[in-house]
Every structure is written in C-alpha cells, then in structure tokens.
Amino acid sequence: MLNLLIFGPPGAGKGTQAKMLAEKYQLNYFSTGEIFREEMAKGSELGNKVKNIIEQGALVPDEITIAILEERIIEKKEGNGFLLDGFPRTIPQAEALDIFMQKENLKISGVLSLEVHNEEIIKRLILRGQTSGRLDDNEESIKNRLEVYDKQTAPLLEYYQKKGNLLPVNGIGDIDEIQNNLCIEIDKIK
C-alpha cells in the first residue's frame, strides 16, 4: 500500500500534481481544499462553517478537518493507498494523523514537498485568481496564506525529515517535468 502526503506553499501546483500522481499510481485522492469547496458549493452545514475561514486565508479548525479525512480514508481503506493534498498543515494535525494511521494499522510511505519560492507563488496565484475567479486568490489573502504556511506548515518539513520520509522536489518548471521528478522519488520508495 502506498500512502503519500504532498506539501508545498499555496500555488505550488500540489493539486495538479497530486491528481496526476493519484491517477498514475491508482491512489485515492483526498484534497481538504476540494472537500471544503464542494461543501461550500452545496451550502452544507460544514460548507457554511468553513466559508468565512477559507475566504480570509486562515486554516479550518483541526477537529473538523481530521474528522472528515479519517472518515474518507476509512471508506476507501481497501484500495492501493491514498494521497493527501492539503493535510496535515500543522504539527498537531500531523500528530493526530500519526495516531489515526497507527490505530488503522497504516503508515505514511513518503512525504512529497514541492519547493517553490514566494515570488513565483504570488505570480501564479494572482494569475489563477484572474482566470478562475477564486476569491482567495487576491494579493492580501495570498500574502496571509504564505505567512500561515511559513509559520504553521513549513515546520512539518523538519517533522517528516526527522522521520526519514521527506522527499523534496523542485516545483518550478514544466508540469510534466515536475511530475516526472515526483515519480522518480515515489518509485524509490515503492
């Protein structure tokens, strides 16, 4: 079973790369961002709870995020594995994931980290906001999200490096080139 996490700052291309990897390796794909956007579009109770939080560029509370992911992973436990995009985002979330994985007799195979500098991120997200209409892709929100990433999520890289399963990959370049580099790292741990 291949269970992967993918990291990188907002706009690093995690979603694009993760979907391609999930298809190539036939993994269940879970994106917290997509789950929350689906719920907001449905106007569900969860969607209403997280809408204001997401539009401000803040993180959804751990208990909500963890409960949803645990439920989805258990539903699809019998597959080839999974790829988590957008989770964990903090050390407490990583620790909660570790506890859940141990309880379910699962393990994280590798942690992919797309390395992209902030200037490139800001450029990418402003362009995405202009084409997609995403409300959270404006300069103020982008800078806030990068600050949140640097303070809360970037420490996870050291957390997983200490565990020996961090796989850093250059996240700048052609989509197919980045995908190939990610696959090289995955194939080393398969």
Average pLDDT, the chain: 91
Q: What is the pTM of this model?
A: 0.86
Please give the order of strands across the beta sheet that includes 81-85: 28-31, 81-85, 2-7, 110-115, 166-170
- Domain coordinates in residue numbering, the chain: 2-189
Rounded average pLDDT over 59-86: 88
When pLDDT is cut at 50, 70 and 90, the band that residue 78 belongs to is: confident
Predicted local distance difference test score (pLDDT) of residue 77: 85
Instruction: For residues 17 and 130, give the distance between their C-alpha atoms in angstroms, rounded to a whole number.
Output: 21
Residue 27 vs residue 72, higher pLDDT: 27
Rounded average pLDDT over 163-185: 96
User: In this structure, which topology does domain 2-189 adopt according to CATH?
Assistant: Rossmann fold (3.40.50)
Residue 162 vs residue 75, higher pLDDT: 162
Predicted local distance difference test score (pLDDT) of residue 55: 78
Predicted local distance difference test score (pLDDT) of residue 52: 83
The catalytic residues are 14, 89, 128, 134, 145
Instruction: For residues 100 and 128, give the distance between their C-alpha atoms in angstroms, rounded to a whole number.
Output: 34
- E strands in 1-140: 2-7, 28-31, 81-85, 110-115
Q: Look at residue 54 and tell me whether its pLDDT is greater than 80.
A: no
Lowest mean pLDDT among 11-15, 21-25, 108-112: 11-15
Each residue's pLDDT tens digit, 123-169? 999 998 888 887 788 888 999 999 989 998 899 999 999 999 999 99
Lowest mean pLDDT among 45-49, 53-57, 95-99: 53-57
Contact predicate 21/109, CB 8 Å: no
